[in-house]
Amino acid sequence: MSRRFAVSLAGLALVGLSACAGGDAPAASPAATDGAGDAVSGTITLYTSEPQAKVEELIAAFNETHPDVTVDVFRAGTGDLTARIESELATGEVQADVLLAADAPTFENYKDQDLLMELDVDTAGLLEEVVDPEGFYVGTRVIPTVIAHNTTAITTAPASWQDLTDPQYRDQIVMPNPDVSGAAAFNAAVWLLNDDLGEPWLTALAANQPVIADSNGPVSQAVASGAQPVGIVVDYLVRDLADAGSPIAVSYPSEGVPYVYQPVGVFANTDAEAAAMAFADWLVSSEGQQLAVEQNYLPVRTDVDSPEGAPAMADLELMEFDLAEVQQRRTEAVELFNRLFQ
């Protein structure tokens, strides 16, 4: 960790001196490889779109390293989170210290509004694509959107995005609502900008009348239960359900997959900077990434293996896009989507 961090920690330690002197067991951070026993403490509020169970595991694991940091979680869809942040800004200041949510454009937007604080995390060993060059946010897991299918209902899985426009999948597809899911909105923009897919593909997909579920969770459920045997959904949910025993499997389309990397950022007005930075840093650390893989996510570190059943990061075909353009045309893409899929 950086020197600046240590300095601010020292200030914090002064304030929290009496608490520390109280004889709290300091040895509760066995995995701490840096910071040399400096116990970070404080309370941070985390806004996240991570599933409830996963975020709770995550905080529990984080607290093994940093037992004195209390993390209060507000979990909601990305759309709900941005709406909340907006209304908080309108009436005062953002209540959150840390935002861990779906896509980079949201963070770009906040960066432009000077709402974010420059991060102080160790980015060595991270995939290049997930690190903001200006250092205001960093991706924490790679979340590609893929095609899931119910293994009882479908024998040959659709292998490409184009396959989904085949009339045999009419009324058979389910996908998330970009109004609610940040990842879905992001995907809409990526598809729209993709030369091979673009508006013609979206129009053809709409002709198959997919069911629009609220978010990725219900999509995966619908596929697993067979309500719609094919779904456009983030890959980790499929692995979660398959692990639990659902008849569901994933295929990574040949044209490549749109992906988000769940960035983490710290709000500039935080009053618990040290704790917030410690949390962000831990997320991309080896331990944090190990947990991410255990939770069925693809890691952002090259030195951590993909979860079982997922392609290695090197073999994964990622859909290329220009972040600035995606951000710019996102609203347009969502509007187009709403018009086509109404």
Binding site for another protein (CB under 8 A): 45, 47, 51-53, 56, 72-77, 79-80, 82-84, 86-88, 91-92, 95-96, 150, 152, 177, 179-180, 211-221, 224-227, 237, 241, 244-248, 342
Q: How far is the CB of 192 from another protein (least distance, A)?
A: 19
When the beta carbons of 173 and 248 are compared against another protein, the nearer one is 248
Q: How far is the CB of 245 from another protein (least distance, A)?
A: 5
Q: How far is the CB of 240 from another protein (least distance, A)?
A: 8
When the beta carbons of 275 and 304 are compared against another protein, the nearer one is 275
Residue 38's SS3 state is coil
80: closest CA among 181, 185, 220, 178?
A: 181
Distance in angstroms (rounded) separating the CA atoms of residues 298 and 285: 14
Q: How open is the CA angle 66-71-74, to the nearest 5 degrees?
A: 155
Q: How far is the CB of 104 from another protein (least distance, A)?
A: 18
Bridge partners of residue 69, in order along the sequence: 42
When the beta carbons of 58 and 278 are compared against another protein, the nearer one is 58
When the beta carbons of 93 and 303 are compared against another protein, the nearer one is 93
CA dihedral 2, 105, 85, 212 (to 10 degrees): -130
Bridge partners of residue 72, in order along the sequence: 45
Distance in angstroms (rounded) separating the CA atoms of residues 238 and 219: 10
Distance in angstroms (rounded) separating the CA atoms of residues 109 and 261: 16
When the beta carbons of 18 and 91 are compared against another protein, the nearer one is 91
Q: How far is CA 109 from CA 91, 254, 326, in A?
A: 19, 31, 12
When the beta carbons of 111 and 239 are compared against another protein, the nearer one is 239
Largest CA distance in the chain: 70
β pairing state of 263-267 and 138-139:
antiparallel
Q: How far is the CB of 55 from another protein (least distance, A)?
A: 9
Distance in angstroms (rounded) separating the CA atoms of residues 166 and 174: 14
When the beta carbons of 83 and 207 are compared against another protein, the nearer one is 83
Name the CA radius of gyration of the chain, rounded.
21
230: left (phi over 0), alpha (psi -120 to 50) or beta: beta
When the beta carbons of 179 and 305 are compared against another protein, the nearer one is 179
Q: How far is the CB of 4 from another protein (least distance, A)?
A: 28
β pairing state of 173-176 and 69-75:
unpaired
Q: How far is the CB of 191 from another protein (least distance, A)?
A: 20
Q: How many helices (H) and strands (E) does the chain have?
A: 12, 12
Q: How far is the CB of 41 from another protein (least distance, A)?
A: 19
